[in-house]
Amino acid sequence: MVIKKRNGEIVVHPYIPNSVPEVQEEMLREIGVRDIEELYSDIPEELKFKGEMKLPEPLLSEYALKRHVKEILSKNRTCDENLCFMGGGCWPHYVPALCDEISQRSEFLTAYAGEPWEDHGRWQALFEYQSLIAELVDMDVVNVPTYSWGQAAATSLRMACRITRRDEVIVADTISPERLAIIRNYCKPVVRVKLAKHDPETGMMDLENLKSMISRDTAAIYFENPSYLGFIETHGGDISEIIHEVDGLSVVGVDPISLGVLVPPSHYGADIVCGDLQPLGIHMNFGGGLAGFIATSDEERYVMEYPSRLFGITKTTVEGEYGFGDVAFERTSFAKREKAKEFVGTAAALWGITAGVYLALMGPKGMWEIGKTIMQRSQYAMKELSRIDGVRAPRFKAPHFKEFVVDFNDTGLSVRDINKRLIEYGIFGGIDLSRDFPKLGESALYCVTEIHTKEDIDRLTSALGQIIESKR
Amino acid sequence: MKGGKIKIRDFHEAKWDEPIIFELSRKGERGILVPEVEKEIEEAVGDGISVLPEHMIRKEYPALPEIAQVRVLRHFLRLSQETLGATINIDIGQGTCTMKYNPIINEILAKSPEVTEIHPLQDEDTVQGALEIIYKLDLFLREISGFSKFTFQPGGGSHAIFTIISIIEAYHRLNGEGEKRNEIITTLLSHPSNAAAPAVKGYKVINLYPEEDGRPDIEALKEAVSEHTAGFIVTNPEDTGIFNPRIKEFTDIVHEVGGICAYDQANANGIIGIVRAVDCGFDLGFFNLHKTFSSPHGCGGPAVGAVGVTERLKDFLPVPTVEFDGKKYYLNYDIPHSIGKVREFYGVFPVILRAYAWIRSLGAEGIKEVARVAVLNNNYVMRKILEEVKGASISFPKTRHRLEQVRYSFEKLKKDTGVTSEDVIRRMADFGFHLWTSHHPWIIPEPFTIEPTESYSKDDLDEYLTTLKKVVEEAYRDPEKVKNAPYNCPIHNIDHEPLEDPDKWAITWRAYLKKHKKWE
């Protein structure tokens, strides 16, 4: 059987070289069977699907396929043509041309599980990514990326539980709701997750509340810096001290693009640091650009608890030649199945390589400059937005990085309505927080990065001003 | 080569002896410059940094390298050349992984700004195209599997397994049986994550061993099931390429005790369009879009493990799902017993898009042809290996036909020559070919696993086979030559010892610099 068009004409599909009928016959002869059906003889007839898959007619020419897909995609409105002020775990940053050039190389794009000698470049690139992130967080061990920050945080907490042999974790309640949902599911029913309150004025952790929650059952505290709501937690040292007093671990989630200007969490006592690579040269991709990293010190009791692949540098049979391989492979589910540390599999390696390219390009100065420009631009935006009657930005009294909560409660308008109107101006307004943070009322999480020019910010301010004014 | 004698390729992979990126650093060089802040902004807010308390400002720059742009480019291009990507070699030797052609047109489409430059929380009206693709792929996969609804949230196959286990756990907990049902059954020849992921959720895992014909032992299943059974998760065909014809009996046995049956279809390449998961009695399952559905593997992701469920498990899916009300596509967060989330947002959209485009290019007949040709290619390769490659055998020889892959053994080769399957693998690389052993534990001695997907021509297969035959002949003639391979790769065989020793392992360059003196 082969593919046939409606008129009965046979199609040799370009993706299937051996759909040539004569070749199939030749191969069947060599195998010694009559037809391909015979090769399926182990599948009982009653299990074979006799119906018809209701799939659309194939778009056989590449042109027809391209045209069809492009037509659907054209219904999207992009952040290239519109001004995007949304972040919340997936941020609009500039992607250097080299990041695209390298991540689309067929060799990297299509490689998978090659051996250290034949895939040397893949191993080296991922080792280098680990090494570059290590400098950013100032720690000695970084994993081959996992799915996303949410997964990295969840695994960090499960690692902390194994290291401390405890089964309770405390999470700052200003965490991203998406990440919290991931952590909750990943911990259930083995690890208890408790939420710690924040100070309503600053957004930072309420240290007294934290102290009252903590006990010798607590494996770890998890907080984020900058937080999901954009403010910077300035009491990281105190928090780490509180958990260290009961021999628990301090786990901190971080936006790596902030680490040119912000001290890395390892400097205020973090034992495990995690975050997302997406800001480092990876397109938003409708949320498809996420990749989680985990970093720790090089102590054996930490390293042995990673579920992830850890690529290490080693020697080869030839003097002076670098080689790479898996460190402590026996930890992983590939080696130990149910006795392993969690599980490992295909996750987000290509984004690791891409983030490595990004950091290599940026260098120490670039990371400082980008952090600084993001801080300046976001401060300018907060200042300008606050000029609008009834608008308050930031909502929290604290220093911020990149994101901040804009309080619209006094405008009499809902964020939903404001954002609908902003679309008419070609602007995607900040993330509506009214569902996930009801106490903040009509507030939105705005994101300002290096891509937002003064003119962009002024355009936003003016549009918001008009929308709010017109309602009065 | 067509019709004529096949030549052994005179191959040498690129060897650049490229330094580690930190060694390229030259103080002051820049790879890229950052958009400068406007004067007016600077005047309005100052340096932006001084709002921070002193102790939160990074005092020393991170010790990243300083490298000019062209040198960064050259470095990574060289590393890419030192990587044997699937598109470049005849990658039939990475069994279980379904290495198939990743159509370039799909890459072009995935790079459109309408894919890359959209934010997941944009107003639904502004991402109707993306939601339509997701929704329609869901419809296509329903046709292929018989399931009622798919989620694309899991970021890989193992993640999909974890999602499935989460759904099973939530289902029993809702029925008040969460504590009691504390066991998951799988088979030893199913992917390692089928055993590992349930353990994360606290389950006791029972592994069924294969019988002599390679099929899982149905008596062992009968013994394993009880009121404690939460679920059963299995690959079929397993990594041996052997289809378990009694699979419906297996799922019936599990259902009788109230367990849920999950189908690991990470690799469904031999049976898409031929057998549907629901007809085998499965309640849920997953496809890897980066395997069967052609999205590239990306050195190990980004990826999607698309989880499908039957009607009764729909209410447990992660939020949100993508729905269509007849006019508009929208996100549905109203799922009563949802497990919550396993990954932020809705899945890796470029991967979803590629799978969509791949199915559109093939249609129903094309998809069946994919399966048929994958099976044809596999049986052709198996026949040739059995006839022509000395020292090689198939596991479970009692079973005659295989579907999409075969787990072979070089046990005899090792006995005859001392050359192991790992030695052969290294020597194959000298001719530009990849070959892989198997997952652990190696219940099949000296294993190697070949999966010739539909993407390779008879000539491609013949070239691979001819080379494998040559390497084995060499092993009989000159075993040391094979044992000391590779010779034509970017590097030689590596020393594993430092990777296992906490005093010597170095997972980052800075760790290497701290420790490497101990090596001297």
**Range name among A253-257, A333-337, B57-61, B182-186 with the lowest pLDDT average:** A333-337
Q: Which amino acid is at B348?
A: V
Residue from B287, B494, B510 whose CB has the most chain A CBs within 10 Å, to mutate:
B494
| Shared domain check, B75 and B112 | no
Q: Which residues contact A115 (CB under 8 A, 6 or more apart)?
A: B425, B426, B429, B434
**Which of B12, B39, B59, B79 is the best mutation test for A, with the most CBs of A within 10 A?**
B79
Distance from the B258 Cα atom to the nearest Cα atom in chain A, whole angstroms: 20
Q: Domain residue spans in chain A?
A: 3-65, 83-91+365-471, 97-358
For residues B51 and B188, membership in a common domain is answered with no
Report the relative pairing of strands A272-276 and A249-254 from DSSP bridges.
parallel
Task: State which residue of chain B sits closest to A225, comparing Cα positions.
Answer: B56
Residue B352: inside a domain? yes
Are both B121 and B256 inside the same structural domain? yes
What is the band of B4 on the pLDDT scale with cuts at 50, 70, 90? low
Q: Specify the pLDDT at position B520.
A: 43
Is the Cβ–Cβ distance between A446 and A417 less than 8 Å?
no
Q: Which residues contact A428 (CB under 8 A, 6 or more apart)?
A: A79, A82, A83, A84, A85, A86, A419, A422, B119, B122, B123, B126
Q: Do residues B62 and B115 both lie within one domain?
A: no
Q: Token match 């034992």: residue? A: A271
Q: Is the pLDDT of residue A1 over 60?
A: no
How distant is the Cα of A437 from the closest Cα of chain B, in angstroms?
16
Classified as helix, coil or strand, A320 is coil
Q: Which two tokens stand for residue A361?
A: 């390009």
8 A C-beta contact, residue B449 and residue B436: yes
Asked if B65 contacts B21 with a C-beta cutoff of 8 angstroms, the reply is: yes
Structure token digits, residue B86: 């699937």
Which residues in B lie closer than 8 A to residue A327 (C-beta atoms)? Answer: 499-500, 505, 507
User: What's the pLDDT score for residue B5?
Assistant: 77
Q: From CA B53, how far away is CA A54, in angstroms rounded?
A: 62
Q: Strands (DSSP E) along A283-365, which ranges? A: 292-296, 311-315, 322-326
HSE at residue B252, side-chain half, CA atoms within 13 A, is 6
Number of structural domains, chain B? Answer: 2
Cis peptide, bond prior to residue B318, ω within 30 of zero: no
Domain boundary among the residues B358, B382, B411 is at B358
Give residues with Cβ within 8 angstroms of A18, minimum separation 6.
Answer: A24, A27, B373, B376, B377, B454, B456, B457, B458
Are B205 and B303 in the same domain? yes
Sole residue written with tokens 């009996």? B249
At residue A2, does pLDDT exceed 80?
A: no
Looking at residue A458, its pLDDT comes to 98
- B158 plus B261 within the same structural domain: yes
Within 8 A by CB and 6+ apart from B209, the residues are B187, B188, B216, B217, B220, B443
**A203, A224 Cβ separation under 8 angstroms:** no
Other C-beta atoms lying within 10 Å of the C-beta of residue A304: 16
- Could you report the per-residue pLDDT of A162-174, keeping only the tens digit for each? 999 999 999 999 9
Nearest-by-Cβ selection for B115 from A49, A73, A423: A73
pLDDT in tens, A198-251: 999 999 999 999 999 999 999 999 999 999 999 999 999 999 999 999 999 999
Q: For residue A169, what is the DSSP state? A: E
If asked whether residues B69 and B148 sit together in one domain, one would say no
Q: Which domain holds residue B294?
A: 108-358
Boundary residue ending a domain (B306, B331, B358): B358
Q: Are residues B53 and B160 in the same domain?
A: no
Decide if pLDDT at B220 tops 90.
Answer: yes
Q: What topology does CATH give the domain A83-91+365-471? A: Aspartate Aminotransferase, domain 1 (3.90.1150)
Architecture of the CATH domain A97-358: 3-Layer(aba) Sandwich (3.40)
- A118, amino acid identity: E
Summarize pLDDT for B322-337 with one digit per residue, the tens: 999 999 999 999 999 9
Cross-chain Cβ contact A346/B303 below 8 Å: yes
Angle at A122 between CA A116 and CA A126, to 5 degrees: 105
DSSP-assigned letter for residue B342:
S
Q: In angstroms, what separates the C-alpha of A414 from chain B's closest C-alpha?
A: 15
Return the CATH number at B202: 3.40.640.10
Q: What is the ipTM of this complex?
A: 0.98
Cα dihedral sign, A316-A322-A323-A326: positive
Label residue B503 left, alpha or beta by phi (over 0 means left) and psi (-120 to 50 means alpha): alpha
Residue B513 to chain A, least CA–CA distance (Å): 11
Single-letter amino acid, residue B486: P
Indicate if B61 and B171 belong to the same structural domain. Answer: no
Q: Is residue B88 part of a domain?
A: no
pLDDT tens digit sequence for A364-397: 999 999 999 999 999 999 999 999 999 999 999 9
Residue A342 has pLDDT above 90, yes or no: yes
By CA distance, what is A14's nearest residue in B?
A: B455
Is there a single domain that holds both residue B229 and residue B339? yes
Which among A78, A101, A284 has CB closest to B73?
A101
Alpha-helix residue ranges (DSSP H) falling in B175-217: 192-200
Task: Return d(Cα B64, Cα A129) in angstroms, integer.
Answer: 11
Burial B212-240 (b: 16+ CB within 10 A, else e): eebbbebebbeebbeebbbbbbbbbbbbb
Tokens 């599990």 label which residue? B254
